[in-house]
């Protein structure tokens, strides 16, 4: 059978674009890609990139206070959201153009419209055209999800924050995951009165207990009204915003309410189940180690598979798919020991096992320290940072590393190399410290504080 293309990619995010570029540019495949929204997907347009720029912007308020403590004559004014938003939009336009340019130079045909799957080798475009391909790659990512009870209550999601015309004076953020916590810190740093509800006992479920407790304490110290064991019981329009009654009995009007209560895979209406592609309970595409679905010609990568929902993982999966199917270099993606960072203030960096995971798996030694870093201590701030290593007492391998500190994301990237290589605690100890730094504590913790 003759096909229009060797590969048709549905989704122009990080995973789909990488797969298309490698398949076409490096392996000579005839590739097409369809994207119904802006090229670049969640990460570039409404996720990692704009969020990190907002993290930078929000951090300058504390930096200016520190500058004054260090002797600089600083006269800060109010944060100009409109000026920042204009530069942010321009940067996203530049990045989207770069993504499009990369696809064009690789020879990928781009369709700016929604695409669905008609059969194992046919894609139906929203404009009525049908295109055939030997292989189809689903890379449609995920989307914010809100509870059905509040879906029509005028609440915002994380996507909407990037499009605000003005900053609200007050905001309620509902949720306790990394997106909720990051935006609580961002908006607080920009001068917004932030309240956060999380129905669980502690924010950042799934992360190391000691680390997430450290983050929660820091968030409260910065002025965020963080309430755990709390949820929004009732919402209704009110003068000046939204009237909210909490499960704790508290009543207040917030100018904006943001729900950051999770994300769901973007598989609705794609036609996957009709052709035999299996979906999981959350709507995720079920794939094997080669990112192949139950239908041999259909593959999926990135957040739509709900494996590890991180941009670098999606990129690795897309690249490995292209090498496997079109480059005669079969290779699965190693999903073990993937480092990640939560861009709260301070940041949380993590790789490997948490203390709780290590305790469940078997004996472990815990090396941990918390201290006031030099820079903020000199400025008179009470901030503390935390460094933690989880060690296997038999092999002496470092099984996990947790860092809560400014720039923890930068530090955990380097620590992850050692952990991935199987470094032992003694090899950490044999590494001479870089002084004076926060990270030197990773190689100077001599005795375990407890066993797990």
156/147 Cα distance (integer angstroms) = 12
314 sits in which H/E element? helix 311-326
Distance (Å) of CA 376 to CA 64, 66, 185, 344, 382: 12, 7, 18, 17, 7
Task: Point out the catalytic residue in the list 27, 121, 135, 435.
Answer: 435
Cis peptide before 436 (omega within 30 of 0): yes
Find residue 131's DSSP bridge partners.
Answer: 123
18/22 Cα distance (integer angstroms) = 6
End-to-end CA distance of the chain: 60
Report the 10 Å Cβ neighbour count for 188.
Answer: 22
Cα–Cα nearest to 60, from 194, 164, 186:
186
Cα–Cα–Cα angle for 400, 340, 410, rounded to 5 degrees: 95
Q: Which residues lie below 8 Å from residue 360, measured CB to CB, with a gap of 6+?
A: none
Which string of DSSP letters, residue by residue, matches 171-232? EEEE--SHHHHHHHHHHHHTT-EEEEEESSSSSSTTS-HHHHHHHHHHHHHTT-EEEES--E
Which string of DSSP letters, residue by residue, matches 22-90? IIIIIT---EEEE-SS-TTHHHHHHSHHHHHHHHHHHHHHHHHHHHHHTT---------HHHHHHHHHH
Find residue 365's DSSP bridge partners.
Answer: 391, 451
Instruction: Confirm if 260 and 177 have CB atoms less than 8 A apart.
Output: yes
Find residue 156's DSSP bridge partners.
Answer: 258
Which string of DSSP letters, residue by residue, matches 141-164? -EEE---GGGTTTT-B-HHHHTT-
243 sits in which H/E element? strand 241-246
pLDDT digits (tens, 9 = 90+) for 152-194: 889 999 999 999 999 999 999 999 999 999 999 999 999 999 9
Alpha-carbon dihedral sign for residues 317, 320, 325, 327:
positive
- In order of their start, the domains of the chain are 5-143+264-326 (3.50.50.60), 148-261 (3.50.50.60), 340-451 (3.30.390.30)
Q: What does the radius of gyration of the chain's CA atoms come to, in whole angstroms? A: 24
Q: Which two tokens stand for residue 366?
A: 């815990």
Q: Please report how the helices 81-106 and 48-69 are oriented relative to each other, as an axis angle in degrees rounded to 10.
A: 140
Task: Please indicate whether residue 435 is annotated as part of the active site.
Answer: yes
Find residue 342's DSSP bridge partners.
Answer: 348
Cα–Cα–Cα angle for 177, 179, 180, rounded to 5 degrees: 70
Distance (Å) of CA 312 to CA 15, 43, 162, 319, 444: 8, 10, 22, 11, 31
Instruction: Confirm if 215 and 204 have CB atoms less than 8 A apart.
Output: yes
Alpha-carbon dihedral sign for residues 437, 442, 446, 449:
positive
pLDDT digits (tens, 9 = 90+) for 343-388: 999 999 999 999 999 999 999 999 999 999 999 999 999 999 999 9
Dihedral in degrees, nearest 10, Cα atoms 433, 358, 221, 387? 0
Q: Please report how the helices 209-221 and 178-189 are oriented relative to each other, as an axis angle in degrees rounded to 10.
A: 20
442/419 Cα distance (integer angstroms) = 12
- pLDDT per residue of the chain (452 residues) written in tens, 0 to 9: 899 999 999 999 999 999 999 999 999 999 999 999 999 999 999 999 999 999 999 999 999 999 999 999 998 889 999 999 999 999 999 999 999 999 999 999 999 999 999 999 999 999 999 999 999 999 999 999 999 999 888 999 999 999 999 999 999 999 999 999 999 999 999 999 999 999 999 999 999 999 999 999 999 999 999 999 999 999 999 999 999 999 999 999 999 999 999 999 999 999 999 999 999 999 999 999 999 999 999 999 999 999 999 999 999 999 999 999 999 999 999 999 999 999 999 999 999 999 999 999 999 999 999 999 999 999 999 999 999 999 999 999 999 999 999 999 999 999 999 999 999 999 999 999 999 999 999 999 999 999 97
């Amino acid at each position: 059978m003759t096909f229009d293309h060797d590969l048709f990619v549905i989704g122009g995010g990080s995973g789909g674009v990488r797969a298309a570029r490698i398949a076409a540019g490096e392996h000579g495949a005839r590739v097409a890609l369809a994207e119904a929204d802006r090229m670049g997907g969640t990460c570039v347009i409404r996720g990692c990139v704009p969020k990190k720029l907002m993290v930078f912007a929000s951090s300058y308020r504390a930096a200016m206070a520190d500058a004054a403590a260090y002797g600089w004559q600083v006269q800060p004014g109010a944060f100009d959201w409109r000026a920042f938003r204009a530069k942010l939009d321009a940067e996203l336009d530049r990045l989207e153009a770069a993504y499009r340019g990369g696809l064009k130079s690789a020879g990928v045909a781009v369709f700016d419209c929604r695409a669905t799957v008609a059969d194992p080798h046919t894609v139906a475009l929203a404009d009525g055209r049908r295109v055939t391909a030997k292989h189809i790659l689903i890379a449609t990512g995920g989307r914010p999800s809100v509870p059905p009870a509040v879906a029509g209550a005028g609440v915002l999601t994380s996507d909407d924050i990037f499009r605000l015309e003005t900053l609200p004076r007050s905001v309620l953020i509902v949720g306790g995951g990394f997106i909720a916590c990051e935006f609580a810190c961002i908006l607080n740093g920009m001068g917004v009165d932030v309240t956060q509800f999380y129905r669980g006992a502690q924010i950042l479920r799934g992360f190391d207990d000691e680390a997430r407790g450290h983050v929660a304490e820091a968030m409260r110290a910065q002025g965020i009204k963080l309430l755990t064991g709390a949820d929004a019981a009732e919402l209704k329009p009110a003068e000046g915003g939204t009237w909210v009654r909490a499960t704790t009995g508290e009543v207040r009007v917030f100018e904006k309410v943001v729900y950051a209560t999770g994300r769901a895979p973007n598989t609705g209406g794609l036609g996957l189940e009709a052709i035999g592609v299996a979906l999981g309970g959350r709507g995720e595409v079920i794939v094997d180690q080669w990112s192949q679905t139950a239908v041999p010609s259909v593959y999926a990568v990135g957040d739509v598979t709900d494996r590890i929902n991180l941009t670098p993982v999606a990129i690795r999966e897309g690249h490995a798919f292209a090498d496997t199917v079109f480059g005669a270099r079969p290779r699965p993606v190693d999903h073990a020991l993937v480092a990640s960072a939560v861009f709260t203030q301070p940041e949380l960096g993590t790789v490997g096992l948490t203390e709780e995971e290590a305790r469940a798996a078997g004996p472990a030694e815990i090396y941990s320290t918390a201290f006031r870093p030099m820079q903020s201590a000199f400025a008179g701030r009470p901030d503390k940072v935390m460094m933690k290593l989880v060690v296997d007492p038999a092999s002496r391998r470092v099984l996990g590393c947790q860092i809560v500190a400014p720039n923890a994301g930068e530090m955990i990237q380097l620590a992850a190399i050692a952990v991935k290589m199987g470094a032992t605690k003694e090899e950490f100890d044999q590494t001479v410290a870089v002084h004076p730094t926060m990270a030197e504590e990773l190689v100077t913790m001599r005795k375990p504080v407890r066993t797990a």
